[in-house]
Amino acid sequence: MKKIIASNFKTNHTRKSTREFIEDINQYLSEKNIDNDVYIFPTATSLDSFETASNLTIGVQNAYYTKSGSFTGEIGTIHLDEFGIKTILIGHSERRHILGETQKEVALKYNYFKALGYKIIYCFGEPLEVKQAGLTETLGYIWEQFDGIDLNYENLILAYEPVWAIGTGISATTEDIGTIHRKIKKKIDKPLLYGGSVKVCGLQDILEVPNVDGVLVGTASWVAEDFKKMIYIANKMDQNSKKIICSTEE
């Protein structure tokens, strides 16, 4: 399976710079003949009708489980339908831990968008104190994040994102990633991404870990040149390149 590369803009990029970024990446994919699946999740205000290659998908970072209604500050599916958006991130740790989304709400959202056939990138991962408590505790915590989640859903991609690694600059070690991914894959046969301070240099090491099907990247993906390097590396690896590469230089 070709490696999946996804960029989460979080609260970054304007409408104008989002369009420039997407057009740049789209052109890069066709110029280089790259057929890896690439996802970009811009802010809700930057959603628009984008003409993209079939392997470049624009998704939404969040939406409420409604078509429309009175949910101040939220958007519903009429706003996504306007731009043909059919892909959503659910369960991101910033929504769970900063914005207070409970597992019950996450599951409600999951089931709503599942019923509509959305592609769901479902994020889960443990905070530092849980990791420090040990592997059993970590796995127990992770399984609880699957409460109410249909793991057989055909349009599901999973993303293991340890909370302590997100936006901190400290990525999990390849050993940690390998351990958790192996345990998850044993039980759930779905594409499984890693996310948490992935950088251009270091990407190949992570993608080489067994059971890592791709990456979900925040901070290091916001400069188009860097995101292109990541796509380039993933594509080269799929062609069995053995060399560790951190740039688009041949």
Give me the active site residues, please: 92, 161
CB of 94 to ligand PEP, least distance (A): 7
In this structure, what DSSP letter does residue 67 have? S
Q: What is the CA angle 161-164-165, rounded to 5? A: 60
Position of minimal CB gap to ligand PEP:
218
Nearer to ligand PEP, 34 or 215 (CB): 215
CB of 95 to ligand PEP, least distance (A): 10
Interface with ligand PEP, residue 128, by CB under 6 A = no
Among 212, 216, 231, 234, binds ligand PEP (CB under 6 A): 216
Interface with ligand PEP, residue 8, by CB under 6 A = yes
Nearer to ligand PEP, 196 or 214 (CB): 196
Contacts of 194 (CB under 8 A, 6+ apart): 159, 160, 161, 172, 177, 181, 206, 209, 212, 214, 215, 216
Q: Which of residues 37-76 bind ligand PEP (CB under 6 A)?
A: none
Phi–psi pair at 87, nearest 5 degrees: -135, 135
Contacts of 69 (CB under 8 A, 6+ apart): 76
Q: Which of residues 9-28 bind ligand PEP (CB under 6 A)?
A: 10
Cβ atoms of 48 and 245 within 8 Å: the answer is no
Interface with ligand PEP, residue 217, by CB under 6 A = yes
Identity at 5, one-letter amino acid code = I
Q: Which of residues 160-199 bind ligand PEP (CB under 6 A)?
A: 161, 166-167, 195-198
Nearer to ligand PEP, 66 or 127 (CB): 127
Q: Which of 244, 240, 208 is nearest to 229 (CA)?
A: 244
What span, in angstroms and rounded, lies between the C-alpha atoms of 119 and 208? 25
Provide the binding-site residues for ligand PEP, judged by CB under 6 A.
8, 10, 161, 166-167, 195-198, 216-220
